A and B are shown apart, each in its own frame.
Chain A
Amino acid sequence: MTNNKWKRWIPAAVIPVVIAGVAIAVPLSANATDSLPTKSPQDVLAMIGDSTVTAFSGTVEQTANLGLPELPAGISASSLGASGTGSGTGSDSNASPSPSSTGSSGTSGSSGSSGSAAGPSAADVSSALQLLTGTHTARVYVDGATQQRVQVIDQLAETDLVRNGSDVWQYDSSKQTAVHTTLPAKSGSAGDNSGDATVQTPEQLAQKFLDDVDPTTNVSVGGDVTVAGRSAYDLILTPQATDTLVGSVSIAVDSATGLPLQVSVTARGAADAAFSTGFTALDLSTPSADLFSFTPPAGTVVTEKTMTEKPAPTGSAAAGSGAASGAPDGSAAAKPVVTGSGWDAIVELPAGTDASALTSSPLLGELTTAVDGGHVLSTTLVTVLVTDDGRVYAGSVSADQLQAAAAAK
């Protein structure tokens, strides 16, 4: 009996080994892919163009490591995905140094107002920044161009963006608020039009980068990758310009359908991606139609908005889209000016926008550093310069170049 005592410990020794083995082996086997037929970069680009996937549902995970400090946890649940239009509740009831929303006027102010946006209020800035730090998970349901639903998942909370035809609903479960926007007849995808801070799907982001593929970009195809259990080509975009912060952009393109599955952006000289968004699960069947019909639940504060036809987009900086997403483009005074083209383009928002909210925000005060003639927000991919007279410059370039651009005006 005594000699056999050690045998009683066999399960305790074997079971952890088995569990560790399974935990290691399962991801490895999932990554083992048959090698795909070799394709040229042009073939892969053509695959994206020929992609006919219009309906799918999936889970998207976005990870940002832009060198920004993590925001206090209290902000995450309540202001994530807050309306980017100045029509939020205006009471960010967090213990954190929450900026007072000078641009917002409660729930009644913007009801029925034409024009798309009042200005980037400080609350919107914090919500945009929130999406640019840490990891966020969203469930995405798409059926055609006019039926979409994005659910940004938080622990014990959720923010929904539902588009059904010309109706766009934004619902925040923690604040119990909903914003109903009626789109004009002709418009693109909901994510572009509403200007709201939400998680972008890989294909939306990939399209932004592919729009900018021009002679200043080297395009190559890397090794096969596996994303969400699907084998994919790895399309790598490398800027030729040496003064941009972007080192490379890697787009995983599904080998079967041509759908972009993952986009990751690596800063120049960095080993790991600074920003990546990709599917962790993907189902190509058509989602249930029930998902796209949204009725605000009882007890919800509903804000009505009407969006009029916007002027054509004047272009966007390659990687500056995140920083500029809260920027207004409805009024002529606030129309951004793009200097240069390609990866080192600089976007300028002239004075007259609500930049005082930006500079006076204590949150931004902590994030920015004072430089000659303004304040600079530096991330690994994007730099933003707010000059003392209220102009905003943004681009994937160094702060010196932004200062030079500001001084030239």
Chain B
Amino acid sequence: MSSEIAPESAPEHPNAGDTAAVQPLAAGASAEHPLSAGASTEHPLDGAYVALARPRAGWAFLGSEIAVLFRRRRTWVMLIALAAIPVLIAVAVRISSAGSTPGRGPAFLGQITNNGLFVGLVALIICIPLFLPLTIGVVAGDTIAGEASSSTLRYLLVAPVGRARLLLVKFVAAAAFCVAATLVIIVAGALIGAALFPIGSVTLLSGDTVSLGEAGVRALLIAAYVTLSLLGLTAIGMFISTLTDIPVGAMAATVVVSIISQVLDSLPQLDWLHPWLFTHYWLDFADLLRQPIDWSSFGSNALLQLAYVAVFGALAFGRFSTKDILS
């Protein structure tokens, strides 16, 4: 991420000697880069694209940012933790001798023994209220504050990277994590379900049965829906991240915001507010499991999340572009 800094500029900056990032390195090499959180993470340095034209450099910047995110040990731990949830569910259902009573526990739990593909859905229902917002909060809250706290932000901006472009790249990388997190749950659920239970044609909420192939398409649609649902929170997290230099604070605040929104959504006295809460449509992904598909919640959710991204993206730009970068 700090790779666009011209190597010549490094000696002029105090503290520059602390980081390996400013050392001129061969393309593709990576260097250990200390973070304030204490975690040692790998930052790839791709010095080759410094010389590239700006449009291509933008894509390379994005690619580099995503690579940094997914090479972090923290990212892997979070994805593995998410993948462990469907595994836990499947194993628990498999080893419990008593058949589960339909109507108890999370929706679809009773269908797992008939069809292992439902493991991923049950895991999604369990993850959406807390675990997914938690991981999104960590990633989104870290976007700007993490750079600031590890003193890499100013080097990023010394290089000819506009602040708007930096925000955009950070947001797209965080959105890529949303895609990965959702897919990890669904794919891990499908794999462990296929390993422990019979799989076959899938019963929809309407009582109709669809083939395995169509069920796969609908699972991908659900992944798209859940990813979309998380973008509003990602934008909120990025805005909070521009307000502080302490990444942990931004992460915690993002998670708290998602919990507050869900609490407000559960109060019937505030039903006028509910359609405006970014968590309101989170569990309505099941509308994709009706026959025919009910697209209305998909559309409402997409519009709502886009509005949140626009509002909090603009707020983040306003804050970040006027901020004095001190670290």
Contacts and interface: CB of A to CB of B under 8 A. Distances in A.
Nearest to B101: A93
Contacts of B101: 91, 93
Nearest to B107: A156
B205 interface: yes
Nearest to A5: B322
Contact of B314 (A12, A162, A291): A12
* Interface range for B: 35 or more
A158 B111 contact: no
B314 A158 contact: no
A34 B291 CA distance: 36
A175 interface: yes
Interface centre among B108, B110, B283, B314 (most CB of A within 10 A): B314
A77 B103 CA distance: 8
Interface in A148-203: 151, 153, 155-158, 160, 162, 169, 171, 173-178
Contacts of A281: 296
Interface in B183-222: 200, 203, 205-209
Contacts of A288: 292
A178 B102 CA distance: 13
Interface string A1-38: 00001001111101110010000000000000000000
Given A11-B318, A297-B209, A174 B307 contact: no
A297 B294 contact: no
B310 interface: yes
A90 B103 CA distance: 13
Nearest to B290: A158
Interface of B: 101-104, 107-108, 110-111, 114, 125, 200, 203, 205-209, 268, 283-284, 286-287, 290-292, 294, 296, 307, 310-311, 314-315, 317-318, 321-322
Given A8-B321, A155-B284, A294-B208, 16 more contacts: A8-B317, A11-B317, A12-B311, A12-B314, A70-B268, A78-B103, A151-B206, A157-B205, A157-B286, A173-B206, A174-B102, A175-B103, A176-B110, A176-B111, A295-B209, A300-B207
28 contacts: A5-B322, A8-B317, A8-B322, A11-B317, A12-B315, A14-B314, A19-B307, A19-B310, A70-B268, A77-B107, A151-B290, A153-B290, A155-B283, A157-B205, A157-B286, A158-B205, A162-B207, A171-B206, A174-B102, A176-B102, A176-B110, A177-B102, A281-B296, A291-B292, A294-B207, A295-B209, A298-B203, A299-B203
